Structure 1
Amino acid sequence: MTTTKMTWRPQYRSSKFRHVFGKAATKENCYDGVPITRSVQDTNFCAVNPRFVAVITECAGGGAFLVISIRHAGKVDPHHPRVCGHKGNVLDIKWNPFSDFCIASCSEDTTVKIWDIPKNGTMKDITVPRKELQGHSRRVGLIEWHPTANNVLFSTAYDYKVMVWNLDTPEQVIKNPVKTISEHTDLVLSMSFNTDGSKMATSCKDKKIRTIDARTGRLLQEANCKSHKANKVLFLGNLNMLLSTGNSRWNHRQIALWDQEDLSVPLAEEDLDGSSGVLFPFYDPDTHMLYLAGKGDGNIRYYEISSEKPYVQFLNEHRSILPQKGLGIMPKRGLDVCSCEVFRFYRLVTIKSLIEPVSLIVPRRSEAYQEDIYPMTAGDKPAMTAGEWIMGMDKGPVLMSLKPGSRLPEKAQDGPPGRQPLPEPLRAAGAQSPGQQRGQKPKARQRPDQGRKTQGHHLDHHVQRM
């Protein structure tokens, strides 16, 4: 298989995303005064969902992170309550994709902890986790939730092991993982899952890319390309491809595309620049757009991915004079579809102690809902339980529509199946009286002016007879 060199020469290509632009939030809509961590770990240090922004902070006497309400933009209180139950620095945090009030964190103290966040946010310091996972022998640097199974968590540490945890257990302290994957010979730098979570791709400090059966831990493929030293790896949705970021043999930052069934040679490679910061890739499977943001950079590049050559088409980039230390991304269900927003970043700007939201917007004149850029997307409902996944079941994500009004109110969803209350307009239109329920026909309602018309008719008839 020959490697294709991608080119940035301008080529005409019909695409609805050619004019996507980045729009940074105003200062009033940023989060100011956040003591962002000074850790040099190659993670994003930030996690976002439609309700909260969580960011790892600098503190003494252990590790901590802040949880800020998404609506409380502006100056952050220096004494804002923290989640501070770790004995060492927190290295990574991830929100549960199926619960906006559950977050996982890992730390240098070799533990992973699961926290419950109150619905109104943190009113006081949280020091006691709901669950604590003890299994690694060295500091834990990376965690990932399973994309479709509920309460399944993956963690990897400096002991070169990947552990699979089942959180659907009554124990508060879990010491035995469901599975321990020992296929790596060095530190795991990133983990990514395919659409149904049956396969996991990893990049390692030994510069190799591996695809692994996520349930059994069996090694499926391994790439050892001398021309590309991988740092981060990502599954590209249903395109059956992987994308990796790393460095070339001349130490230039580089991206590479791989066939996930054959990792012997990359499908395509392209050098980007000579900067030294780690490139973080983000992929949107709904729009097939790829975003590249470098640690220490001020710009975010975005591309369109296709399954045919030239595979990658450069679209544009968002530029800023302020460098970013990490980025959080908003799930699709939290975007503003009325303004045609297709992606949203939360940039951590350390030199300003600032969290800056950046929206990627498709310019459209119509204010109506744009169905062509918002297909059905993965929602916040799990496709299966942890036990079903462990027993061998694989399911794709439960899809939802982003169209306003397409989802039932939360109160209706919380009720038992088959007895959910109707929304008020439907209840008023479809409600039946007790007489109708017993089979009686409803009486016709008389209009207010009907009696007056009848009286006038009798009066006219009386005048004619006279």
Structure 2
Amino acid sequence: MSFRKVVRQSKFRHVFGQPVKNDQCYEDIRVSRVTWDSTFCAVNPKFLAVIVEASGGGAFMVLPLNKTGRIDKAYPTVCGHTGPVLDIDWCPHNDEVIASGSEDCTVMVWQIPENGLVSPLTEPVVVLEGHTKRVGIITWHPTARNVLLSAGCDNVVLIWNVGTAEELYRLDTLHPDLIYNVSWNRNGSLFCTACKDKRMRIIDPRRGTLVAEREKAHEGARPMRAIFLADGKVFTTGFSRMSERQLALWDPENLEEPMALQELDSSNGALLPFYDPDTSVVYVCGKGDSSIRYFEITNEPPYIHFLNTFTSKEPQRGMGSMPKRGLEVNKCEIARFYKLHERKCEPIVMTVPRKSDLFQDDLYPDTAGPEAALEAEEWVSGQDADPILISLREAYVPSKPRDLKVSRRNVLSDSRPASSSRPGTSTSTATPAVATPSGSLTGAEEAGKLEEILQKLRALQALIKEQGDRITRLEEQLGRMENGDA
């Protein structure tokens, strides 16, 4: 009896990576030389941010995406930190707000002008002071507005309400050693961490409790990473006792054994995983490697399926990943990475080849949009919400982000003891950072205005639905014509 090898069906088997042409790269950027396992790069649909070398302090560069080519040496930077910047992260709910952590022990949040910088930006919107050692990890809450997590070399995780400059939660007893990375789950109710003590932990930040932990998730001594997947599983990268690089998949309900464990190679660069919840593809980039490997995560064994490797000549110093809403859907682009060399940043485009020019529904399920599902206060009160999804069918048009305003409490009129009312020490919530309209309206006027807005909204929704139906009909008609049915 002959056995035929069955090739697993997957629409991502033929994903291929391609660097952009030279004139689409960002040249002459002095990428930071700090020895820290950060990605050094953060990108969103408007801007590219790169941590750069800076004399007498820390700085990062923010470039509008279309500002490719050679970057002038005098190009302005964001330069308010007094020590090197170690990590940066764009706010998922406002494409003009970015947070940074630094060796100067502070976290700073910055509002970038709509069209980019024309002069150096030295004044952050808010400075968050609570760490006693350098701050190496910054990550925004995925669904609650203005909630930011920072982790420092003091082994402390702090969660802030950026809108009030207040410390919401201080988790200072859960990690006895250096924290390598932190990753929120899809609705931001939990986060997982990888630590130098070789443990992977799952933590409930609002209760300050350890939900689950695994000793020696990877037995090697070199840095590991842990990230939450959309279904609640945890994906880790690390090293074996023999210094082989490994990937593993874990079920938090049972951390006794990994669901899957794969050995990759014996290089020594830390593996940085990037996860796309829409396609269940994990891209793994090694620091100092010249390749990006990608894997599809599925519900059936062996769970982690190798897809392909993108290889280029130059090693990568860091890597940024574009959110789904910033991709070109008409080119079947399912991921875009921004690879840092020593002196340039090179975009790498991942596409699924398709013959049709029509919108590919199967490649682009609705994806996380820029609207926050909760306010900070709602999250603190115990509410959870999944990301608010948007369709990419109309090649998503961004909404106008509102400026970040910080409304600090008036300490004098506060009834709490003075000791707990300093920004950075309070554990209570406060009013959200929303801009209030100038001039007040009566209740009747307000109700009238609201009704008027709702009517306009309903009319727009009806129009969008009508246009969507029309597009579907036209696509079906076109499909029939292409197939020779009409």
Q: TM-score, normalization: structure 2? A: 0.81
How big is the shift at 1:193?
Answer: 1.3
Q: In 1, Cα distance between the equivalents of 2:288 and 2:98?
A: 26
**Alpha-carbon deviations, 1:169-228, whole Å to 9, x = none?**
1x5xx5x44333420000110111111111110000111100001322200111013753
What is residue 111 of structure 2 aligned with on the other side? Answer: 116
Q: For 1:237-262, what per-residue CA distance to the aligned partner results, in whole angstroms no more than 9, with x for missing partners?
A: 11x31111000011111111111222
CA distance in 2, matches of 1:158, 1:54: 23
Tell me the SS of whatever aligns to 2:454: coil
Pick one of 234, 239, 252 that aligns with 1:260: 252
What are the Cα deviations for residues 330-357 of structure 1, in whole angstroms up to 9, with x where unaligned? 000000000000001000011xx11000
Q: What is the DSSP-based 3-state SS (H/G/I as helix, E as strand, rest coil) of the residue aligned with 1:207?
A: coil
What is the DSSP-based 3-state SS (H/G/I as helix, E as strand, rest coil) of the residue aligned with 1:333? helix
Greater Cα radius of gyration, structure 1 or 2: 1
**Whole-angstrom distance in 2 between the partners of 1:33 and 1:244:** 34
Matches within 5 A, 1:72-91: 72-91=67-86
Deviation string 1:3-52 (CA, Å, 9 cap, x unpaired) is: xxxxxxx8610111111100111000000000100011000000000100
Deviation at 1:381, TM superposition (A): 0.5
Unaligned runs of 5+ in 1: 1-9, 431-466
**266, 284, 290: which is aligned to 2:282?**
290
- Give, in angstroms, the shift of residue 68 of structure 1: 0.4
Please say if residues 132 and 154 of structure 2, whose CA atoms lie closer than 8 Å, have aligned partners that are also in contact: yes
CA contact (8 A) 1:202 1:233 kept: yes
Matched residue, 1:366: 356
Equivalent position of 2:139 in the other structure: 144
The match for 1:69 is: 64
Instruction: Indicate if the aligned counterparts of 2:156 and 2:175 stay in contact, CA closer than 8 A.
Output: yes
Structure 1 113/408 Cα, relative in aligned 2: closer, same or farther at 3 Å?
A: closer
Q: Of 366, 385, 409, which residue of structure 1 is paired with 2:375?
A: 385
Q: Distance in 2 between matches of 1:251 and 1:108?
A: 29
C-alpha contact 2:171 2:205 (8 A) present in aligned 1: no
Alignment of 1:54-453 (within 5 A): 54-169=49-164, 174=166, 176-225=167-216, 228-229=219-220, 231-238=224-231, 240-350=232-342, 353-404=343-394, 417-418=453-454, 420=456
Q: Secondary structure at the match of 2:108?
A: strand
Q: CA deviation at 1:168?
A: 2.1
RMSD: 2.3
* 3-state DSSP of counterpart to 2:264: strand
CA contact (8 A) 2:149 2:158 kept: yes
| Paired residues of 1:255 and 1:271 also in contact (CA < 8 A) | yes
Once the 2 structures are TM-superposed, how far is the Cα of residue 418 of structure 1 from its aligned partner? 2.3
Amino acid at match of 1:418: L
- What is the rounded CA distance, in whole Å, between the counterparts of 2:107 and 2:217 in structure 1? 35
- Give the AA of the match of 1:390: V
**CA separation in 2, counterparts of 1:405 and 1:302?**
25
Structure 2 residue aligned with 1:13: 8
Distance 1:368 1:221, change over 3 A: same
- How far the C-alpha of 1:420 sits from its partner, in A, is 4.9
Distance 1:34-1:260 versus aligned 2 partners, 3 A rule: same
Q: 1:225 to 1:265 in 2, by over 3 A?
A: farther
Percent identical residues: 45
| Contact 1:245–1:253 under 8 Å retained in 2 | yes
Q: Measured at CA, do residues 138 and 272 of structure 1 come closer, stay the same or move farther in structure 2, by a change above 3 Å? A: same
8 A contact 1:29–1:74 mirrored in 2: yes
Using a 3 Å threshold, how does the CA distance of structure 1 residues 226 and 73 change in structure 2: closer, same or farther?
A: closer
- Could you tell me the TM-score, scaled by structure 1's length? 0.84
CA shift in 2, pair 1:37/1:186, >3 Å: same
Cα distance change of structure 1 residues 358 and 11 upon mapping to structure 2, 3 Å threshold: farther
Counterpart-to-counterpart distance in 2, 1:405 and 1:253: 38
